[in-house]
Structure 1
């Protein structure tokens, strides 16, 4: 069997190069979301990607097993490294984001952690804003330093002078969210990419909030893109997952990244006396191959075939879901701007914010389904609204088909230091909404009655 997504085993067992080799055009995004990365003939003519619920695969013969292990033939052997169902998802997401390859993992935080650790391993530094998802801040603030990796936080990631002042000889990457959660602040990615590349630094973007339907960071200079596929990509709150996507353009041999140029046995052939580093073995695929071989295979945060299957189903309706959610989120945000007892609304998609130029440039289809607002009064009022809504579920997730509500300071950003929370606008009075597929008029009526009751 010749799968078009497993070109080169080389211990990775899967290449996942986009079938087109380039990003899908806007007009064919919906088609790619349904078809990219899957050939029915390679899977018993199944119309839908099968779930390969197998821990391992028959290598057929001693000769073929040796060739598989040496990377001299294509195929699968062990699902901790690659699985046919997961591989379809990887290739489809690489195609939708315009990358050369992808690695699907067990969660969004696994994707963030693997991408940052792979870039900064060995004592590197990361530059990042503080207005990120809480677990990302916690990982960089208090956990990664235990592994010798430190983060230099900036107040405003769009202030290039502030970012440039943080660059050191051991800086390896800049990390930011394309649309910040929960502020919906927009990243001005193009000049940031130019700054990073001028200094030989990689730009890693978390694109979870907008999904590739609304924004593709690689088109504006990003080197690595990560997602929590749990959110808008899957879209139904039924499967945890994450993905790392490699643009394939960054020079990992520029001197800042010794992990890519140091020879390693896992990608060499000791018996034949052939020595390789990841860069010499894989060239422009060095990063995504290292993620698979060193991080996925060793740490084992493996995406399950069943979750990959659910994510593939969710992807098929991504354009339709997100388009409706953006329209509804805008309507809800407009209501909240004039609602009693609402002190502030955070939704950059309203069109008249300080970032309207960036929205016009990067987000012609909208900025996504999340928004947040600040209530007057005390935290008791916040609790009353959360407890008083009927249609919104009190759930720490976003991108679901159902509308969700949460108080970030107590839940999603609880582990973020107070200084960072306040700087990012995450006060005890803040409520975050993720708008689903319900009628916006019903959601507005639900919020209106809950707010009125709370006061």
Structure 2
């Protein structure tokens, strides 16, 4: 049947496109659409009741985002993933899905400053308690666990000092207590470490950093590694094991336990759906472009960082280089065990102190102002080499005691070594040191 010629008003909205048309693109396309057409009302009913997988609305699910989710899940050896708006959202939602009011988290003291803000300041507002422990003190992890504890959390390589977590040992503590271990693998990425191989249960990423790799796009990813059995203690996880209204009465374990991830389903259908930290299709596309070269970039990042670290270790104006590749690092043995493909390219150095806080700030300020190649930027994992001053930037909200526990002083400078010529990076740092 030939349709009548459409009016200008109708044609300008609908001409030239049929949502049923398939296009076999070589590169994942950008599905830049807020919503998706249903083939029938019956299909829409099944999708909304979670009886069928598919796309409804891009706030919680989008085909381009799905490609990124499946790709990162594959890299980490996981069973499913959720893409969200930022790494901070990934940390927050992964923990909120596990811990409720009146419950408890045990977390490493050595964490990115924004994560400390979340755990130390915001979570207590919601009735969630957090105990911070030295990540290297395995007995402290064990002693901090309470009957209300629901998760242990740490970074595989800590930001900004590059302390390397003994993941296997912390995982043993978590599992002995029947708890999952959540690891932030942003700095290492699966190119340098897959935490699943050492006992982790859930991985989070700030995809803004090395996964994207170009400092252009915000994003976060949560990966269920498929190793934790939430049904072993169902009373601890009613959000997964009890009837879930959004499935029409069954539990998420019943609906997604055989195929898929109840945990990721909870994050998408409740926390992303209700709170809205959505990863856009365009952002997912840009992050996918970065992921395609991940191992190539991480090899260069790591090799250059080790060269920079070894050079600075001998400089008279550097008091300490915090890089686990150095033989005198407290984390050197852990790096050999947990980072066999190369150590981190995000690490810190301590300048030789003047002996007073004002003098130390002026010293760091002078050093930063002299840099010509490295840039002062509050980011890591970029193609460009960058510096930051944690005490006055990323970790400025921490108390002096918290910074001291994390090993951060007034003279600590964080480096993120990029993809430039390593000799030129070194030359710039050396001339800035004077």
TM-score by length of 2: 0.91
Give the structure 2 partner of residue 160 of structure 1. Answer: 138
Give the structure 2 partner of residue 276 of structure 1. Answer: 250
Give the structure 2 partner of residue 8 of structure 1. Answer: none
Give the structure 2 partner of residue 114 of structure 1. Answer: 93
Give the structure 2 partner of residue 382 of structure 1. Answer: 364
Classify 1:165/1:276 alpha carbon distance in 2 versus 1 (closer, same or farther; 3 Å).
same
Asked if the contact 1:351–1:359 (Cα under 8 Å) also holds between the matched residues in 2, the reply is no
State the 1:161 CA deviation: 1.3
State the 1:263 CA deviation: 1.7
1:397 aligns with 2:375: no
Asked if the contact 1:296–1:302 (Cα under 8 Å) also holds between the matched residues in 2, the reply is yes
State the 1:356 CA deviation: 2.3
Give the structure 2 partner of residue 95 of structure 1. Answer: 74
Q: How does 1:29-48 map to 2 (within 5 A)?
A: 44-48=23-27
Partner-residue secondary structure (3-state), 1:428: coil
Partner-residue secondary structure (3-state), 2:325: helix
Classify 1:449/1:159 alpha carbon distance in 2 versus 1 (closer, same or farther; 3 Å).
same
Residues of 2 paired with 1:279 and 1:61: CA distance?
28
Give the structure 1 partner of residue 7 of structure 2. Answer: none
1:150 aligns with one of 104, 129, 133: 129
1:237 aligns with one of 195, 215, 220: 215
1:321 aligns with one of 266, 278, 297: 297
Residues of 2 paired with 1:351 and 1:209: CA distance?
21
Give the structure 1 partner of residue 314 of structure 2. Answer: 338
Residues of 1 paired with 2:65 and 2:390: CA distance?
32
1:129 aligns with one of 85, 99, 108: 108
State the 1:352 CA deviation: 4.0
Give the structure 1 partner of residue 388 of structure 2. Answer: 406
Classify 1:43/1:187 alpha carbon distance in 2 versus 1 (closer, same or farther; 3 Å).
farther
Partner-residue secondary structure (3-state), 1:288: helix
Asked if the contact 1:388–1:450 (Cα under 8 Å) also holds between the matched residues in 2, the reply is yes
Q: Which runs of 5 or more structure 1 residues have no equivalent in the other structure?
A: 1-41, 269-274
Residues of 2 paired with 1:123 and 1:291: CA distance?
20
State the 1:43 CA deviation: 6.3
Asked if the contact 1:52–1:84 (Cα under 8 Å) also holds between the matched residues in 2, the reply is yes
Give the structure 2 partner of residue 365 of structure 1. Answer: 341
Give the structure 1 partner of residue 13 of structure 2. Answer: none
Partner-residue secondary structure (3-state), 1:436: coil
Residues of 2 paired with 1:288 and 1:141: CA distance?
25
Deviations 1:42-75 (A, max 9, x none): 9622111110110000013222222322334443
State the 1:124 CA deviation: 1.5
Partner-residue secondary structure (3-state), 2:364: helix
Partner-residue secondary structure (3-state), 1:132: coil
Total equivalences in the alignment = 404
Give the 4+ runs in structure 1 shifted more than 6 A. Answer: none
State the 1:279 CA deviation: 2.4
State the 1:195 CA deviation: 1.3
Asked if the contact 2:208–2:219 (Cα under 8 Å) also holds between the matched residues in 1, the reply is yes
Q: Which runs of 5 or more structure 2 residues have no equivalent in the other structure?
A: 1-20, 355-359
Asked if the contact 1:179–1:367 (Cα under 8 Å) also holds between the matched residues in 2, the reply is no
Please identify the structure whose Cα radius of gyration is greater. 2
Q: How does 1:202-351 map to 2 (within 5 A)?
A: 202-253=180-231, 254=233, 255-268=235-248, 275-283=249-257, 285-351=261-327
Partner-residue secondary structure (3-state), 1:234: coil
Residues of 2 paired with 1:104 and 1:160: CA distance?
32
Asked if the contact 1:232–1:400 (Cα under 8 Å) also holds between the matched residues in 2, the reply is yes
Give the structure 2 partner of residue 56 of structure 1. Answer: 35
TM-score by length of 1: 0.87
